[in-house]
Amino acid sequence: MKRLKVAEKMRNLMAGYYMLGHQAKVRAWVTSGAPVEILYAMDVYPVYPENHGALIGAAKLGSYYSDFSEKRGFSRDLCSYARCDIGCVFAGTSPVGGLPKPSFLFACNNICNTVVKWYEILSRIFKVPLFVLDVPFVRKELKESHLRYVEDQLIDFIKFVEKLIGMQMDDSKLREVAMKSIEAVKLYGECLRMSKNRPSPMTCFDAFINMAPIVCLRGTDYAVSFYKEMKEELEDRVKNRIYAVENEKFRLLWDNIPVWYRLRWLSDFFASRNACLVADTYTNAWTGFGELRSSDLISSLAEVYTVSYLNIGLERMVEIINGLIEFYEVDGVVMHSNRSCKPYSFGQYEIQKKLSVPSVIIEADMVDERAFSEAQVATRLEAFLEML
Amino acid sequence: MRIGYFCTFTPKELIHSAGFLPFRIFATRKPISLASAYIQSYACSQVRGALEVALSDEFHGFVFTRSCDTLMRLTDILEFLGKRVYNIEFPTKIGNVDYYVYELRDFCKTLESWGGEISFERVIESLALYRELEEKLKKLFEVRADYEIAIKVQQIDVSGAIKLVEKKIEEAKKEEKPKILVTGSVCPYPEIYEIFTKAGFAIKDDLCTGRRFFEFNYPNFEPHDLDSALRFLAEKYFSKAPCPTKHYPNDYRFDYLLRLAEDCEAVVFLLVKFCEPHFFDFPQLREKLEEMGKKVALIELEFPVASTEQIRTRVEALKEVIG
Amino acid sequence: MISAGIDIGSLTAKCVLLSDSKILAYKVTRVKPKIEETAREVFEETLKIANVRREEVLSVFSTGYGRSRVEFADKAITEITCHAVGASFLIPSVRTVIDIGGQDSKVISVENGRVVEFVMNDKCSAGTGRFLEVMANALHLKLEELGSIAMKAEKKITISSTCTVFAESEVISYLSSGEKIEEIVAGICDAIASRIVAMATRVGVREDVVLTGGVAKNLGVKKAIEEKLGIPVKVPEEPQIVGALGAAVLASRKKNI
């Protein structure tokens, strides 16, 4: 696997991010789909348990940390991000020495309802307040009443934080953060779209490895300058004909959260068979922020965070996937049926039938390596490539 | 015409007033086969078994309320399979009544587009009928918990259901037995409740096939037009016996459950495998219950229930431990 | 030219020798812990039956779970492709292949001998040969007997559990409550068939349907699948060797892949 040079920089950046957390005065644990812009605008440091979960998975310590929560009675059928993260709290440590304790919690259910339960548990453990941003599911078109409901809660949330920190939010600061968010998202989207080149200069594994800044540092200068650099490196690759997969023969699309503990294995598996996973539905979920309007910030934040990828009906998901297939000129789709992520995985059988190219399903879990059978996955993927 | 529904937060009153029969769908008692083609095996057996029923029986349409992630996707799956479906976005965070009134207004429009008729008079009538049923069920359960009835009334017309419950109230006799609290989502198997009573317990429950179907606090006002009737309905369902798929201020569900457990000897978590909302709550609830000195047991269910023998052994052992 | 296909499954190893589109010889053996050794033995034994020298075999392809561990093979191909090719070789009108293997089951949609789509069982073993093996053990029967016993049943017991482990205890409880053994066995065949048919629904079933793999010899399972699909299912004379045969066919036209 030819890693991007920026991956090294990303590691340093994220190490710095985790360190800063211990010094921050006010810290909030937040879900990946929460409007973090409001937190950065009020100098609240956001901690991302989901990113932490991915990191544990990548370190192949999923079952190790999950064990700490399983011993307390948490079922092994629960989401492995939650199991591992709660496990780290009980263990009092983690691969990054444990997450800094929260001042409050902020859960937005635009990715799943699991996070509400997970954060309720954290709230009881840490005895800190929890704000749930309740986002209606958008099965068809976005309704005015839904948008207003979310908007009202955003205003409530700002008041909630203001009361906790004893300071008012500065509107111009929020605007400034939001602009940085838009900028980073735009650059990140441009990076991902570099895969349109044939052969592609990057794979979705590069996208996975380098996605932490767009999740955790969206709204800061760090994310902007990081993705600028990533984009430059990719442009260089294209110019100098450096390809992610030397003899790119098949172009594939990945669906669902990565199998974090098998990134390397999967990446080598595909590369050695001249297959390049040029794009994925997961990282693309973070590129939909283009609509943020500075004139009506709260309502456009409400809109952007309501129509997130996992909060829409299957019909719309099919449209998006077929759009990606067309844009990236993809030959086939690899779908990860992820035991931990029900909203992402249920419906895959139906989506398969509506895609414009063939697809294959592999069974696994994003973090818990006990749910992965190498022989089973290899057979399915090999057969799929033989078929293509 | 039957409208299938899955969750006790569904406003059955509106479906009924529109001229349909609200029919609660439980997991099939037959082996699950059709459903496996449309949803993965790590979906809970309540959803897979309900999908099986939805595909094999006649329904005019299906109504969902936002509760868990699996049911949310089931709406989409049924629609992809050519069924008439509607999802009411019941809030996850209990609080904003105005929002939910809007949502109910949209639901009325849907019922009309499905061939139903909505009028203030008929909504009021349905509200009264369901309230009567709920209050009678409450009365019956105060004397004796009867799950066969609690399950049955969710699948027949409300007027017939009221008569049925009235008859049961006349027959019911109170028995003095140690109480056991049974908490979980659904258990449509009357024979499982019998295991508890035969072992010498009187059941108190926190289940969708029991108390969560009929326990409400009713708002203190008389609706005077359709809009206020919808408001009445919204407030009624906001004050329903709490469910782990909802987020309440001040951890209301935990308090509620601990209060329920106060006069019980033991608490049994009767949970359907893969049910995230309940399994997330379980460890911390257990801890609090044990602090109160309660014996706690977990029984995992998968539908169809193949054999009740294992459950019987667990329950009888629990009775022996308590003495 | 002579080519060979070797299929190393989870329970059995199969080898087929092919010469100018004719099967020269085949052999089925049990898999030993050492896969490389198992492969060499089954290959040598087949050579012996056919009276062919090793050097005469121009190309060897391997398939099955152990495919990548057959070092002397020229190429490894998955059993999905091989079953499609092997079934098409024997029954050219095939459009759907149902293969019930030891660890894995698959339903393959075939057109002109090529795989168009396929579905495999999820992680659980309830739709595989393993399921039957566990049940046969629980009933103290031989795996091979299940089919003929099932055919004697007038009705079937319903097995409700979807998980192999739970189904096993369910079967034991039926046994102890005095149910007829043939009715239990028929229920077991029915349970596996309903798993398979659910998978088949995902790819769509088109005739002719060909059933391959060791379980295809079980008439009880075949009958249950036919009942559920509502159409007849064809079984090749030696359903177990279809994967190895497919590998041999592919090896014979090496340049085409």
Quick one: three-class SS letters along chain A? Answer: CCCCCHHHHHHHHHHHHHHHHHHCCCEEEECCCCCCHHHHHCCCEEECHHHHHHHHHHCCCHHHHHHHHHHCCCCCCCCHHHHHHHHHHHHCCCCCCCCCCCCEEEEECCCCCHHHHHHHHHHHHHCCCEEEECCCCECCCCCHHHHHHHHHHHHHHHHHHHHHHCCCCCHHHHHHHHHHHHHHHHHHHHHHHHHHCCCCCCCHHHHHHCCHHHHHCCCCHHHHHHHHHHHHHHHHHHHCCCCCCCCCCEEEEEECCCCHHHHHHHHHHHHCCCEEEEEEHHHHHHHHHHHCCCCCHHHHHHHHHHCCHHHECHHHHHHHHHHHHHHCCCCEEEEEEECCCHHHHCCHHHHHHHCCCCEEEEEECCCCHHHCCHHHHHHHHHHHHHHC
pLDDT at A101: 95
User: Are the Cβ atoms of B306 and C162 closer than 8 angstroms?
Assistant: no
Measured between beta carbons, the chain B residues lying within 8 angstroms of A148 are 99
C115 to A373: CB separation less than 8 angstroms, yes or no: no
**Cα of C116 vs its chain's centroid, Å:** 19
| Domain C93-235: homologous superfamily in CATH | ATPase, nucleotide binding domain (3.30.420.40)
Tokens 């990282």 correspond to: A283
In this structure, what token pair is assigned to residue C136? 């046969």
Contact A386 C123 (CB under 8 A): no
CA distances from A70 to A82, A95, A103, B298, C164 (A): 11, 19, 26, 14, 24
pLDDT at C123 over 70: no
In this complex, is the C-beta atom of A363 within 8 Å of any C-beta atom belonging to chain C? yes
Tokens describing residue A144: 């005015």
- The one-letter amino acid code at C33 reads P
Q: Do C198 and B33 touch (CB under 8 A)?
A: yes
| CATH of span C1-91+239-257 | 3.30.420.40
Comparing CA positions, the residue from A114, A65, A107 lying closest to residue A85 is: A65
B118-146 confidence digits (pLDDT tens): 999 999 999 999 999 999 999 999 999 99
The pLDDT tens digits for C127-136 are: 788 888 888 8
Cα–Cα nearest to B23, from B39, B10, B36, B32: B10
Domain spans, chain B: 2-122+222-235
* Residue B105: closest C-alpha in chain A: A145
At what angle are helices A171-193 and A221-239 packed, to 10 degrees?
Answer: 20
pLDDT confidence of B286, banded at 50, 70, 90? Answer: very high
Question: Which chains are within 8 Å of B by 3+ CB pairs?
Answer: A, C
For the sheet with B21-24, list strands across it: B21-24, B2-5, B61-65, B85-88
**A77–B75 CB contact, under 8 Å:** no
Residue B32, min C-alpha distance to chain C (Å): 8
Q: Is the peptide bond before A95 cis (omega within 30 degrees of 0)?
A: no
Q: Which amino acid is at A200?
A: S
Separation of alpha carbons C197 and B34, rounded Å = 8
- Nearest-Cα residue of chain B relative to residue A133: B93
A88, A163, C66, C234 from C245: Cα distances, Å = 52, 74, 16, 17
Per-residue pLDDT at A358: 96
Confidence of residue C257 (pLDDT cuts 50, 70, 90): very low
CATH fold group of domain B2-122+222-235: Rossmann fold (3.40.50)
The 3-state secondary structure of chain B reads CEEEECCCCCCHHHHHHCCCEEEECCCCCCCCCHHHHCCCCCCCHHHHHHHHHHHHCCCCEEEEECCCHHHHHHHHHHHHCCCCEEEECCCCECCCHHHHHHHHHHHHHHHHHCCCCCCHHHHHHHHHHHHHHHHHHHHHHHHCCCHHHHHHCCCCCHHHHHHHHHHHHHHCCCCCCCEEEEEECCCCCHHHHHHHHHCCCEEEEECCCCHHHHCCCCCCCCCCCHHHHHHHHHHHHHCCCCCCCCECHHHHHHHHHHHHHCCCCEEEEEEECCCHHHHHHHHHHHHHHHHCCCEEEEEEECCCCCCCHHHHHHHHHHHHHHC
Residues of C in contact with B191 (CB under 8 A): none
The residue whose two tokens read 């139906």 is: A350
| Amino acid at position A346, single letter | F
B170: left (phi over 0), alpha (psi -120 to 50) or beta: alpha
pLDDT category of residue C214 using cuts at 50, 70 and 90 = confident
Q: Tell if the CB–CB gap between A383 and C79 is shorter than 8 Å.
A: yes
Q: What is the mean pLDDT of residues B270-277?
A: 96
Rounded Cα distance, B309 and C176, in Å: 13
* C contacts of B30 (beta carbons < 8 Å): 158
Chain A residue numbers with beta carbons less than 8 Å from the beta carbon of B254 are: 124
What strand order describes the sheet that includes B179-184?
B202-206, B179-184, B266-272, B295-301
Relative to beta strand B295-301, strand C12-19 is unpaired
Structure tokens at B50: 């309900």
Q: Mean pLDDT, chain C, as a whole number?
A: 89
Contact between A47 and A100 (Cβ < 8 Å): yes
Q: How far apart are the C-alpha atoms of A215 and A52, rounded to whole Å?
A: 11
Identify from A350, A373, A386, A388 which residue to disrupt to test chain C contact, counting C C-beta atoms within 10 A and taking the largest count: A386
Distance CA C166, CA A232 (A): 56
**Preferred mutation among C117, C121, C249 to probe A, highest tally of A CBs within 10 A:** C117
Per-position pLDDT tens, chain A of length 388: 678 999 999 999 999 999 888 899 999 999 999 999 999 999 999 999 999 999 999 999 999 999 999 999 999 999 999 999 999 999 999 999 999 999 999 999 999 999 999 999 999 999 999 999 999 999 988 999 999 999 999 999 999 999 999 999 999 999 999 999 999 999 999 999 999 999 999 999 999 999 999 999 999 999 999 999 999 999 999 999 999 999 999 999 999 999 999 999 999 999 999 999 999 999 988 786 656 676 788 998 999 999 999 999 999 999 999 999 999 999 999 999 999 999 999 999 999 999 999 999 999 999 999 889 888 899 999 999 999 9
Model ipTM value: 0.96
- The lowest-confidence range among A204-213, B250-259, C200-209 is C200-209
> Residue A363: what pLDDT?
92
The angle formed by the CA atoms of residues A53, A54 and A57, to the nearest 5 degrees, is: 90
Residue type, C251: A
Query: B59-93, pLDDT tens digit by residue?
Result: 999 999 999 999 999 999 999 999 999 999 999 99
Q: How far apart are CA A15 and CA A22, in angstroms?
A: 12
Q: Sign of torsion, CA A118 A119 A120 A126?
A: positive
Note whether C7 and C243 are within 8 A (CB). yes
pLDDT tens digits for range C19-69: 988 999 999 999 988 999 999 999 999 999 999 999 999 999 999 989 989
CA distance to partner chain A, nearest, from residue C62 (Å): 13
Which amino acid, A72? R
pLDDT tens per residue across span B30-52 = 888 889 899 998 999 999 999 99
pTM, to two decimals: 0.91
CATH of domain A6-170: 3.40.50.11890
CB contact residues (below 8 A), chain B span 145-204, against chain A: none
Residue contact A387–C115, C-beta within 8 A: yes
